[in-house]
């Protein structure tokens, strides 16, 4: 109704009150199961859209909810107060919509109640609403992480329409800064290759594995930053326990590095090492892949977290920056190992 629309528009944008549904099934705490089921039958809402019945006192103050499945199984004369759960499960209308969505997802609920300052029930955020919110936030984060959203801007400027339609200057302006940074990083990588030119000249077989060493570090790092961004957006990463998440991802990197190192090192040994009398080349490739993968996972979580702690957009340009950093470090590690293991002079 017009009154309901006016009520929703009075709440701040991106708040739980703005996106909640004002239509829900509610009964008083002294009602019976039979009366609650009758309220469900009288509700104008579609049957498949009703999963819980909210319970309030005589002044509409929220006291909990009862699942529809529990009502169906209970005796009609049973007071609903005996089936109440979730007395502490609620969000304020002024809370962020994402907070409501994450609460609903974390507790695996079909809906979460929305209350006003006096704890009176005013609406509900449904599962479908929550998924839309989380998908939008996740999409925004993915754009920012790829370096196509300006730092500090909201969802309005990261929508794909502005990056694919309209003035061509907007996507150019948004993306060029991060690409110039990666251009400078590419020059630094070129300087590393120039510094070890004598190594490449002496052991041409070592140059064969340069693309693989660089690509694997960047690929593993990109996976980590993507997992961090999505986990943060969906509420799976708790920043207050970041060190635990960092250690977990670092161990993942060690396992990935071990597998990639064994496989890559064996290929290097069979393909270029043994035929050229350079068995140590396989060790250099394998160890480089192990160190590079472990470091990539570590930095893939640490870098966006550090930006967040500094008050910057934790995702803006993470992939371009990380890829450049990993190319530089991976190549440096590889060449130093080749020089050390083969007894060359860098």
Specify whether 39 is located in the same domain as 97.
yes
Q: What pLDDT is attached to residue 252?
A: 94
Tokens of 299: 């930095």
The CATH number for 264's domain is: 1.10.357.20
Specify whether 62 is located in the same domain as 123.
yes
In-domain check, residue 58: yes
Range of the domain at 260: 156-342
3-state secondary structure 5-21: HHHHHCCCCCEHHHHCE
- Taking the C-alpha atoms of residue 260 and residue 219, their distance in angstroms, rounded to an integer, is 12
- Taking the C-alpha atoms of residue 47 and residue 40, their distance in angstroms, rounded to an integer, is 8
Specify whether 164 is located in the same domain as 123.
no
Q: What pLDDT is attached to residue 188?
A: 84
In-domain check, residue 146: no
With CA atoms as reference, report the closest residue to 138 among 171, 105, 181.
Answer: 105
With CA atoms as reference, report the closest residue to 87 among 64, 53, 57.
Answer: 64
Q: What pLDDT is attached to residue 258?
A: 95
Specify whether 332 is located in the same domain as 256.
yes
pTM: 0.53
Q: What pLDDT is attached to residue 31?
A: 93
- Taking the C-alpha atoms of residue 120 and residue 43, their distance in angstroms, rounded to an integer, is 20
In-domain check, residue 135: no
With CA atoms as reference, report the closest residue to 323 among 185, 203, 127.
Answer: 185
Specify whether 107 is located in the same domain as 162.
no
Specify whether 322 is located in the same domain as 208.
yes
Specify whether 120 is located in the same domain as 189.
no
Specify whether 186 is located in the same domain as 87.
no
Specify whether 262 is located in the same domain as 335.
yes
Q: How would you write the pLDDT of the chain (346 residues) with one tens digit per residue? A: 566 676 777 787 778 888 888 888 999 989 999 999 999 888 887 765 688 899 999 899 999 999 988 999 999 999 998 999 888 888 898 888 888 888 887 888 888 899 998 999 988 888 877 777 777 666 555 555 555 454 444 444 444 555 566 667 767 776 777 678 778 878 888 888 888 777 777 777 778 888 888 888 878 888 888 888 878 777 778 878 889 999 999 999 999 999 999 998 898 888 876 767 777 888 888 998 999 899 889 988 888 888 777 765 555 556 777 777 888 888 888 888 888 877 765 5
Specify whether 177 is located in the same domain as 103.
no
Q: What pLDDT is attached to residue 165?
A: 65
In-domain check, residue 44: yes
Q: What pLDDT is attached to residue 28?
A: 93
In-domain check, residue 144: no
In-domain check, residue 26: yes
Specify whether 178 is located in the same domain as 326.
yes
The CATH number for 52's domain is: 3.10.580.10
First to last CA, the chain: 77
Considering its fold, how many domains does the chain have in total? 2
Specify whether 19 is located in the same domain as 121.
yes
In-domain check, residue 336: yes
Tokens of 54: 């909210």
Handedness of CA 180, 182, 184, 190 (dihedral sign): negative
In-domain check, residue 229: yes
């Amino acid at each position: 109704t017009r009154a309901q629309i006016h009520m929703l528009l009075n709440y701040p944008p991106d708040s739980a009150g703005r996106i909640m549904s004002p239509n829900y099934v509610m009964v008083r705490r002294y009602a019976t199961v039979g009366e609650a089921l009758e309220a469900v039958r009288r509700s104008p809402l579609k049957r498949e859209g009703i999963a819980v019945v909210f319970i309030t006192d005589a002044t509409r103050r929220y006291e909990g909810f009862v699942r529809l499945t529990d009502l169906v199984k209970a005796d009609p004369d049973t007071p609903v107060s005996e089936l109440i759960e979730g007395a502490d499960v609620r969000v304020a209308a002024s809370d962020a919509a994402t907070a409501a969505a994450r609460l609903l997802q974390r507790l695996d609920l079909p809906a979460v109640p929305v209350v006003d300052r006096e704890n009176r029930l005013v609406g509900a955020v449904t599962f479908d609403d929550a998924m839309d919110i989380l998908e939008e936030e996740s999409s925004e984060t993915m754009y920012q992480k790829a370096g196509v959203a300006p730092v500090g801007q909201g969802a309005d400027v990261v929508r794909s329409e502005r990056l694919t339609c309209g003035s061509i200057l907007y996507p150019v302006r948004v993306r060029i800064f991060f690409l110039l940074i990666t251009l400078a990083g590419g020059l630094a990588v070129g300087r590393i290759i120039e510094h070890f030119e004598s190594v490449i000249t002496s052991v041409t077989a070592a140059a064969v594995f340069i693309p693989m060493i660089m690509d694997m570090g960047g690929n593993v790092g990109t996976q980590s930053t993507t997992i961090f961004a999505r986990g943060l957006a969906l509420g799976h990463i708790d920043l207050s326990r970041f060190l635990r998440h960092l250690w977990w991802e670092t161990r993942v990197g060690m396992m990935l590095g071990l597998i990639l190192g064994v496989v890559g090192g064996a290929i290097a040994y069979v393909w270029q090492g043994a035929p050229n009398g350079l068995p140590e080349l396989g060790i250099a490739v394998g160890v480089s892949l192990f160190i590079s993968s472990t470091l990539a996972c570590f930095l893939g979580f640490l870098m966006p977290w550090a930006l967040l702690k500094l008050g910057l957009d934790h995702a803006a340009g993470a992939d371009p920056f990380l890829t450049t950093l990993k190319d530089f470090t991976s190549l440096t590690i590889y060449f130093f190992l080749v020089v050390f293991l083969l007894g060359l002079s860098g």
